[in-house]
Amino acid sequence: MPAQSSDALLEAGPPESDAAVLRLSGRLDAYSVGHLWDAALAALASRTSVPVIVDASGVAYCDVAGAALLVDLLRRPRAPGAEVSVRNLRSPFDRLLRQFDPRGFEDRPPPPRLDEPLAERVGEVGIAVLRQAYERVAFVGEAAAAAVDTLTNLRRVRWREPVLIAQRMGADAVPIVVLIGFLIGVILAFQTAVAIRDFGADVFVANAVALAVLRELGPLMTAIVLAGRSGSAFAAEIGTMKVNEEIDALITMGVSPVQFLVVPRMLAGFLIAPLLTAMANFVGLLGGAVAMRTFGIPFVTYFHQVQSIATLGDLFGGLVKAFVFGLLVAGVGCLQGLKTGEGASAVGQSTTHAVVGGIILVIAADSIFAVIFNILGL
Amino acid sequence: MSVEPAVIRVEHLTAGYADRALLEDLSFEVQRGEVFAILGGSGSGKSTLLKHLIGLFPPMSGHIWLDGIDIATVQGAARLLALRRIGVAYQSGALFGSLTLAQNVRFPLEEYTELPDEAIELIARMKLDLVGLRDFADSLPAEVSGGMQKRAAIARAMALDPAIVFLDEPSAGLDPVTSAGLDQLILRLKQGLGITFVVVTHELPSIFAIADRVIMLDRQSRSIVAEGRPQELRDHSDIPVVHQFFNRQPAAGVEAG
C-alpha cells in the first residue's frame, strides 16, 4: 500500500467516520489491474471489522477487467456492518459494473472429486470393453451385409471409387513396402548369421529367412505399413466427413455410409494387401540374399536353399493371412472414422485408435493363424 | 466525432485471393465508437474484406490503417500489439474444441496479461455472463448449441476488452430473441465502453437496430455501391441493388421470370 502500475493506482484514503477508504484511480484495464489485484485483496483482508468504501472518483477508464476487480472486492463474504461499497464511479463505467451481480460470482468450492470404488471402476471398464466388442461385431455384420448387397448388385457398384482407393493404398505404398521388406530381409539374415556361424551352418540362414519372411514377416510388416498409411487415412477421411455432417447427409439421402464408404475401402484393402505382401516377400528374400553374399554365400546357393525349404503352402499361407489383414486394417480404419465424435481432437483420436487397433487386431489374427496352421500341419 | 481520427481507415484497397481480385479500389473510414456494418449479398466479398481488415491476408494493393497502424506491413512486437487491440468472432465460432467455454475466454488473458489466476477466472466468467452464458462456463463447445457457441466466441473476442471488435455474421443462425439480445449487448458495450464494432451481416432487423453506418458491397461492380445510415439508404436510395436489399425484393432476373 499504495500499489501502483504504470496506469492505475490504489492507495488508502483518510477514514470517514468509522469506514475505511480505498482510493482507486487511473486506467483500470486487463493490463493494469493485475498489479493492483493482490494488494487490493490484502487491503480488504486487513480491514475485516469496518465497512470499506472503494472511492473510484479518480478512475479515468474502466472496462470489464476493471469491473472484475471491483466485483472481486464486492463479492467477498464480510461480517454484518463491515460491507464493501463502491462510490463515485463515473456513469458509463458504473453502468457496466451494475450489469454484474457480485453474488453471482461467489467463490464456489470446486466440486468434490468422487473417488469411485474399485469395483465400480472395474465394472465401467468392463462395460466399455463389452460395448466396444458389440460395436465391432455389429460393424462386421453391417459391413458383411453391405458387401453381399454390393456383390449381388455388381452393376450398381461405382468402380472408380475402389480403384482410386486401391491406387492410393497400393501403388503409392510400393516404395515404402519395398524399402521395409528389403531391410527386414537384410537384418534378419545378418542377425541369424551371427548366431548360426559359430556352428558353421551359414548356408541355413537362407532357410530361416525364407520361412520367416514368407510365413510371418512379409504379411505382418505389410499390414503394419498399411495400418499406418491407409488405416489412419481412412479414419481421418471418414472422421472429418462425420464432423462436417457429410455422413448425416448420406443417411438422409438414403445412401448407407457403410455401403458407400466402407465397402470400397475394405474391398481395396482385401485386394491390395496380398499384392503388397507378395512384393514384400520377394524383396525380403532378395535382401537376405544380398546380406548372405557378404558372408561369401553366392546367390545360386542361397536361392537353391530357399527352394528346398519353402513350400507353396508357406507362400500361400502367408498370402491368405494378407487377405485377412487387409480387411482388418481397412475395416478398423473405417469403423473408427464412423465412430468419430465432435470436434478436431476427435478426428485425431479416431486416427490413433485406427492405427493402434489395426495393429493389435492384425497381431491377434496372426496368432490365431499360427494355431490353425499348426493344427492343419502346414 | 469527426474531429477524432478514424479508428479504421481503408485507402484504395484491392483485395482477393491469389491473382483474383474480389474487391477493387475500396476506400472508407470507421469512426471510433460506432457500429459499422458491412452488407452485401452472398459472394459480394464481405468476409474477404473482413479477413483483410484483421490482417489475415495482405491487400493486393492499397492500405488498411487500424488505429494508425498499417496492419498489412507491421511486423513483430508491434503487430502483436495491434492484434491485441482487436477482437474477432468468426462465423462458425472457431472455439477451441478441447477447452471449456471459460477456458476459451481465459486463453487470450493468460497469453497477454499478468493477472492472477483467480482474477482471470473471474473476468472470464463475467464475460460469459455478459453474453448470458454464465451457467455454461464449464461446458465444452460441443456440449452447447450453435447459438451459444457463437455468443461464447463473442465473449472470447472481447476477452482483452479490445478497442475494435469484428463480428462475422454474429446473428446468423440465432433465434430472434437471442439475436435481439445480442444487438442489445453490442449497443451496451458501444455506449458503456466506447468499443467500435465492425459487423458483417445481412440480418435487416439487426442492421436497423445497431448500425450507425453501413457500406454495401456488390458482386458485379466489386466495390462499394452505397454508404450511409441504414434508414436513409432504405428510404432514399435509388440504386436498384440497395433498394432490393433493404426491401427484401428478389433480384431483377428472378422478378422478371
Shared domain check, A271 and A152: yes
Mean pLDDT of the region B113-125: 88
Mean pLDDT of the region A235-248: 90
Domain count, chain A: 2
Which positions in chain A touch B142 (Cβ < 8 Å)?
Answer: 341-343
Structure confidence at residue A122 as a pLDDT band (50, 70, 90): very high
Taking CB atoms and an 8 Å cut-off, how many pairs form between chains A and B? 82
Q: Please tell me the predicted confidence (pLDDT) of residue A5.
A: 61
Q: Which residue has the higher pLDDT, A181 or B192?
A: A181
Phi then psi dihedrals of residue A10, to 5 deg: -125, 125
Which positions in chain B touch A67 (Cβ < 8 Å)?
Answer: 126
Mean pLDDT of the region A254-259: 85
Shared domain check, A317 and A241: yes
Spatial distance between the Cα atoms of A231 and A331, rounded to a whole number of angstroms: 8
Spatial distance between the Cα atoms of A137 and A280, rounded to a whole number of angstroms: 31
Conformation bin of residue B161: beta by default, left when phi > 0, alpha when psi is -120 to 50: left
Instruction: Measure in Å the smallest separation between the Cα of A260 and chain B Cα atoms.
Output: 27
Shared domain check, A236 and A87: no
Which positions in chain A touch B33 (Cβ < 8 Å)?
Answer: none
SS (H, E, C) chain A: CCEECCCEEEEEEEEECCEEEEEEEEEECCCCCHHHHHHHHHHHHCCCCCCEEEEEEEEEEECHHHHHHHHHHHHCCCCCCCCEEEECCCHHHHHHHHCCCHHHHCCCCCCCCCCCCHHHHHHHHHHHHHHHHHHHHHHHHHHHHHHHHHHHCHHHCCCHHHHHHHHHHCHHHHHHHHHHHHHHHHHHHHHHHHHHHHHCCHHHHHHHHHHHHHHHHHHHHHHHHHHHHHHHHHHHHHHHHHHCCHHHHHHHCCCCHHHHHHHHHHHHHHHHHHHHHHHHHHHHHHHHHHHHHHCCCCHHHHHHHHHHHCCHHHHHHHHHHHHHHHHHHHHHHHHHHHCCCCCHHHHHHHHHHHHHHHHHHHHHHHHHHHHHHHHHCC
Spatial distance between the Cα atoms of A189 and B232, rounded to a whole number of angstroms: 86
Shared domain check, A192 and A50: no
Q: Would the CB atoms of B161 and A69 count as touching at under 8 Å?
A: no
Q: Would the CB atoms of A72 and B127 count as touching at under 8 Å?
A: no
- Which stretch, A239-248, B65-74, B244-253, has highest mean pLDDT? A239-248
Shared domain check, A160 and A81: no
Does residue A210 belong to any structural domain of this protein? Answer: yes
Shared domain check, A224 and A167: yes
Does residue A301 belong to any structural domain of this protein? Answer: yes
- pLDDT beyond 50 at A29: yes
- pLDDT beyond 80 at A344: no
H-helix or E-strand spanning residue B66: strand B61-66
H-helix or E-strand spanning residue B25: strand B20-30
- Give me the domain span that covers residue A62: 3-105
Q: Which residue has the higher pLDDT, B256 or A73?
A: A73
Shared domain check, A164 and A61: no
Does residue A110 belong to any structural domain of this protein? Answer: no
Q: Which of A105, A131, A153 is the last residue before a domain boundary? A: A105
Q: Would the CB atoms of A104 and B129 count as touching at under 8 Å?
A: yes
Q: Would the CB atoms of A93 and B118 count as touching at under 8 Å?
A: no
Phi then psi dihedrals of residue A179, to 5 deg: -60, -50
Which three three-digit cell numbers place residue A45? 483482508
Q: Would the CB atoms of A34 and B116 count as touching at under 8 Å?
A: yes
Which positions in chain A touch B163 (Cβ < 8 Å)?
Answer: none
Average pLDDT over chain A reads 88
Does residue A21 belong to any structural domain of this protein? Answer: yes
Q: Please tell me the predicted confidence (pLDDT) of residue A222.
A: 95
How is residue B6 annotated by DSSP?
A: P
Nearest chain B residue to A90, by CA: B192
Angle between the N-to-C axes of helices A218-226 and A263-294, in degrees from 0 to 180, rounded to the nearest 10: 130
Shared domain check, A58 and A169: no
Measured from the Cβ of residue A74, the count of other Cβ atoms closer than 10 Å reads 20
Torsion of CA A32, A33, A37, A40, to 10 degrees: 100
Shared domain check, A179 and A67: no
Mean pLDDT of the region A271-275: 94
Instruction: Measure in Å the smallest separation between the Cα of B158 and chain A Cα atoms.
Output: 9
Q: Please tell me the predicted confidence (pLDDT) of residue A6.
A: 64
Which three three-digit cell numbers place residue A13? 484514503
Looking at the DSSP bridge assignments, the partners of residue B37 are: B199, B214
Chain B 107-166, residues with CB within 8 Å of chain A CB atoms: 109, 112-116, 118-119, 122-123, 125-127, 129-130, 134, 140-142, 158-161
- pLDDT beyond 70 at A322: yes
Which three three-digit cell numbers place residue A248? 448425416
Q: Would the CB atoms of B161 and A37 count as touching at under 8 Å?
A: no
Does residue A24 belong to any structural domain of this protein? Answer: yes
Q: Which residue has the higher pLDDT, A162 or A108?
A: A162
Does residue A126 belong to any structural domain of this protein? Answer: no
- pLDDT beyond 80 at B248: no
Q: Please tell me the predicted confidence (pLDDT) of residue B4.
A: 67
Nearest to A105 among B113, B122, B142 (CB): B122
pLDDT tens per residue, range A168-220:
999 999 999 999 999 999 999 999 998 888 888 888 999 999 999 999 999 99
Where does residue B223 rank: exposed (0-12), middle (13-18), buried (19+ CB within 10 A)? middle
- pLDDT beyond 80 at B142: yes
pTM: 0.70
Q: Would the CB atoms of B119 and A68 count as touching at under 8 Å?
A: yes
Structure confidence at residue B257 as a pLDDT band (50, 70, 90): very low
Instruction: Measure in Å the smallest separation between the Cα of B22 and chain A Cα atoms.
Output: 27
- pLDDT beyond 90 at B230: no
Instruction: State whether the Cα torsion A342-A345-A349-A354 is positive or negative.
Output: positive
Q: Cβ neighbours of residue A224 under 8 Å, at least 6 residues apart?
A: A359, A362
What is the pairing mode between strands B8-17 and B61-66?
antiparallel
Mean pLDDT of the region B177-206: 85
Nearest chain A residue to B135, by CA: A104
Which of B84, B104, B113 should we substitute to test contact with A (largest number of A Cβ atoms within 10 Å)? B113
- pLDDT beyond 70 at A1: no
Nearest to A92 among B127, B134, B192 (CB): B192
Determine what percent of chain B is predicted with pLDDT higher than 70. 96
Determine the 3-state secondary structure of B187 from DSSP. helix
Which positions in chain A touch B125 (Cβ < 8 Å)?
Answer: 105
Structure confidence at residue B255 as a pLDDT band (50, 70, 90): very low
Q: Would the CB atoms of B97 and A100 count as touching at under 8 Å?
A: no
Prediction ipTM score: 0.76
Does residue A121 belong to any structural domain of this protein? Answer: no
Q: Would the CB atoms of A345 and B97 count as touching at under 8 Å?
A: yes
Q: Please tell me the predicted confidence (pLDDT) of residue A293.
A: 92
H helix runs in B113-201, sequence order: 117-130, 146-157, 176-193
Determine what percent of chain A is predicted with pLDDT higher than 90. 42
Determine the 3-state secondary structure of B99 from DSSP. coil
Chain A 89-118, residues with CB within 8 Å of chain B CB atoms: 92-93, 95-96, 99-100, 104-105
Chain B 191-250, residues with CB within 8 Å of chain A CB atoms: 191-194
Which positions in chain A touch B123 (Cβ < 8 Å)?
Answer: 30, 64-65, 68
Q: Please tell me the predicted confidence (pLDDT) of residue B2.
A: 45
Q: Would the CB atoms of B126 and A30 count as touching at under 8 Å?
A: no
H-helix or E-strand spanning residue B223: strand B223-228
Does residue A192 belong to any structural domain of this protein? Answer: yes
Q: Please tell me the predicted confidence (pLDDT) of residue A372.
A: 93
pLDDT tens per residue, range A139-155:
888 888 888 888 887 77
Structure confidence at residue A321 as a pLDDT band (50, 70, 90): very high
Shared domain check, A181 and A96: no
CATH number at residue A40: 3.30.750.24
Shared domain check, A214 and A325: yes
Spatial distance between the Cα atoms of A333 and A159, rounded to a whole number of angstroms: 21
Spatial distance between the Cα atoms of B60 and B100, rounded to a whole number of angstroms: 38
Which positions in chain B touch A64 (Cβ < 8 Å)?
Answer: 123, 126-127, 130, 158, 161, 193
Shared domain check, A281 and A160: yes
Which of A33, A63, A242, A340 should we substitute to test contact with B (largest number of B Cβ atoms within 10 Å)? A63
Instruction: Measure in Å the smallest separation between the Cα of B27 and chain A Cα atoms.
Output: 31
Peptide bond into A2 cis (omega under 30): yes
